[in-house]
Amino acid sequence: MIRALVFDFDGLILDTETPLIDAYARVYAAHGVAFDRSYFLRCVGHADFTFDPWQGFGPGADQAALEAERRACKDALMLAQPILPGVVSLLDSAQAQGFRIGLASNSDHAWVDAHLTRLGLFERFDFIACREDAPSPKPEPDLYRHVLNRFGLRGHQAIAFEDSHAGSLAAKRANLWAVAVPNESTAHHDFAHVDLRVTSLAAVTLEGLVATFQR
């Protein structure tokens, strides 16, 4: 029997990924430097991917100044982002039906907790597992196993919601049911391994998911 829902954060509850890339794009454009969006998209959902965000500016660039410019732009874009469609209604349904509600994120608590608090969602989660809470980030299953252990559940008793390849793979490696909800920045990812792919959380209901996965 399914007894818990576990959400990713970045790109699933709040689109923090598109603003991140858009901020780089705006700084590049402001300085007349060509921007390779595909290069930046490669970092989305991959905690182990390293890249040089200012490679297009050459070795003499004032990277500290560029980073300050990018951060200001990103913060402004981020604050304008709404909670993504379907998130609140799914949380409401889960709470009303007595489901445990968890969160597993490759970001750290300082980032996730602050945004959830700002959005009025922090108290909606029974347990939040972030990057510093597990030995390895996604795509390893450690974060999901940490949530399951806290809830005293097995993988097949929980549904995970993810927007990235790495996140959904982590969920499957921990034996959760995995629902992929790709966004603009992750639509190109491989989701062949997931149990269900949807365009938005607004397209699903808790009742429908439980009926699908408990057949």
Q: Which residues are catalytic?
A: 8, 10
Is the distance from CB of 15 to CB of 9 less than 8 angstroms? no
Contact 171, 5 (CB under 8 A): no
* Count of C-beta atoms within a 10 Å radius of residue 80: 8
- State the DSSP string of 59-72: TT--HHHHHHHHHH
Between the CA atoms of 86, 87, 92 and 93, what dihedral angle is there, to the nearest 10 degrees?
60
CA distance 20 to 9: 14
> Can you count the helices (H) and strands (E) in the chain?
8, 6
Please state, as a whole number, how many other Cβ atoms lie within 10 Å of the Cβ of residue 69.
16
Facing residues of 127 across strands? 102
Distance CA 190, CA 45 (A): 12
